[in-house]
């Protein structure tokens, strides 16, 4: 029976086989060099051979360019070599699923008909910005740990925290008009504490958690992979490409200017 391997480099790196504890590198300066070694170690410690890998879930961000690209290239190369099915998964939407599980275990989820939890999933984009998505995640049946696809109320984007607060407050006001009961907005992900002094101006704010779904060990891998499988069912064959969101810094150079008097010299000759 095959296994599912998760490779994500949207924040440091997380590599692991679903059902087993992942290997996590938090130092972004070294995780690229350690990625290949960690993949081999994760597969071996789970008791598998590379030929046993039946599916590979690659984290597609959103995240900065260099580290994210390394993880996706490694996943594509390994899928090509082993014949495994390659799936892509963004890092934001599984945050919403994990948030409901987190609240359920803490006993703070409440009745979803009276107490509606939204998740502002974030990831540090640097340059004083955040990647973010405001998600509504309906429960699948009565079990909070049964995965369900997140529904974006604000589609994935990159922005400054102050602007994010304004956009979230407007979206929540509009959403609240369509439902009954109280709305709570939890902020979940890397960068949440860094900009907490700004994010605390979100109306109906609940928890601010500086933690990602992939920080949750074996459980986090399972949630991440389950979300990828659900997305694949709804959008089979979607390309596995990096989500940068930020416009590239590189620009096409302007044409070279002629040296003063150069054109005149050409006509003379």
pLDDT digits (tens, 9 = 90+) for 57-85: 999 999 887 788 899 999 999 999 999 99
* pLDDT at residue 137 greater than cutoff 90: no
Does 93-211 match 3-90+215-234 at the fold level? yes
CB 213 within 8 A of CB 95: yes
Give the residue-averaged pLDDT of 89-101.
93
3-state SS, residue 75: helix
Give the residue-averaged pLDDT of 201-220.
95
Q: Could you please state the CATH topology (level 3) that the domain comprising 93-211 is classified under.
A: Nucleotidyltransferase; domain 5 (3.30.420)
Distance CA(183)–CA(28), nearest Å, equals 36
How many percent of the chain have pLDDT more than 90?
Answer: 64
Distance CA(117)–CA(128), nearest Å, equals 27
DSSP assigned state of 235? S
3-state SS, residue 117: strand
The model carries a pTM of 0.86
* Band (147; pLDDT cuts 50, 70, 90): low
Q: What is the pLDDT of residues 160-193, one digit of tens each?
A: 999 999 999 999 999 998 887 789 999 999 999 9
Partners of 4 in the beta sheet? 55
Question: Which among 99, 70, 57 is positioned nearest to 10, based on CA atoms?
Answer: 70
How many percent of the chain have pLDDT more than 70?
Answer: 85
What is the model's pLDDT at position 111?
76
Q: Where do the structural domains in the chain lie, given as residue ranges?
A: 3-90+215-234, 93-211
Distance CA(122)–CA(125), nearest Å, equals 9
Handedness of CA 25, 29, 32, 36 (dihedral sign): negative
DSSP assigned state of 249? S
* Band (142; pLDDT cuts 50, 70, 90): very low
> Does the bond joining 62 to the residue before it have cis omega, within 30 degrees of 0?
yes
3-state SS, residue 124: strand
Task: List CB contacts of 132: < 8 A, sequence separation 6 or more.
Answer: 92, 120, 121, 122, 123, 154, 156, 157, 158, 159, 164
Q: Which residue has the tokens 């070279």?
A: 256
* pLDDT at residue 97 greater than cutoff 70: yes
Question: Which among 132, 116, 63, 100 is positioned nearest to 219, based on CA atoms?
Answer: 100
DSSP characters over 144-211:
TTS----EEEEEEEEE-HHHHHHHHHHHHHHHHTTS-SEEEEEEEETTTTTTHHHHTTSTTEEEEE--
* pLDDT at residue 2 greater than cutoff 60: yes
Domain 3-90+215-234 has CATH 3.30.420.40: yes
Length of the chain: 269
Give the residue-averaged pLDDT of 252-257.
61
Distance CA(268)–CA(177), nearest Å, equals 76
What is the model's pLDDT at position 68?
87
What is the model's pLDDT at position 140?
47
């Amino acid at each position: 029976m095959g296994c599912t391997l998760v490779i994500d480099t949207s924040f440091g790196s997380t590599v692991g086989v679903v059902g087993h504890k992942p290997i996590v590198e938090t130092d972004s300066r070294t995780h690229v060099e350690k990625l290949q070694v960690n993949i081999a170690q994760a597969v071996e410690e789970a008791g598998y051979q590379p030929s046993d890998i039946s599916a590979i879930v690659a984290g597609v961000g959103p995240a900065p360019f260099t580290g994210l690209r390394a993880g996706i290239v490694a996943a594509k190369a390994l899928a090509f070599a082993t014949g495994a099915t390659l799936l892509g998964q963004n890092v934001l939407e599984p945050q919403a699923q994990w948030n409901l599980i987190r609240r359920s275990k803490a006993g703070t989820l409440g009745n979803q008909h009276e107490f509606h939890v939204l998740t502002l999933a974030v990831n540090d984009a640097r340059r004083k910005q955040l990647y973010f998505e405001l998600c509504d995640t309906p429960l699948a049946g009565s079990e909070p740990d049964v995965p369900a696809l997140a529904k974006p109320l604000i589609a994935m984007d990159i922005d400054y925290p102050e602007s994010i607060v304004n956009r979230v407050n407007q979206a929540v006001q509009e959403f609240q008009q369509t439902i009954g009961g109280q709305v709570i907005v939890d902020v979940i992900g890397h960068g949440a504490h860094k900009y907490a002094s700004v994010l605390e101006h979100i109306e109906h704010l609940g928890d601010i958690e500086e933690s990602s779904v992939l920080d949750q060990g074996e459980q986090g891998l399972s949630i991440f992979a389950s979300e990828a499988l659900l997305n694949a069912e709804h959008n089979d064959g979607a390309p596995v490409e990096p989500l940068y969101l930020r416009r590239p810094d590189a620009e096409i150079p302007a044409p070279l200017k002629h040296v003063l008097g150069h054109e005149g010299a050409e006509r003379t000759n």
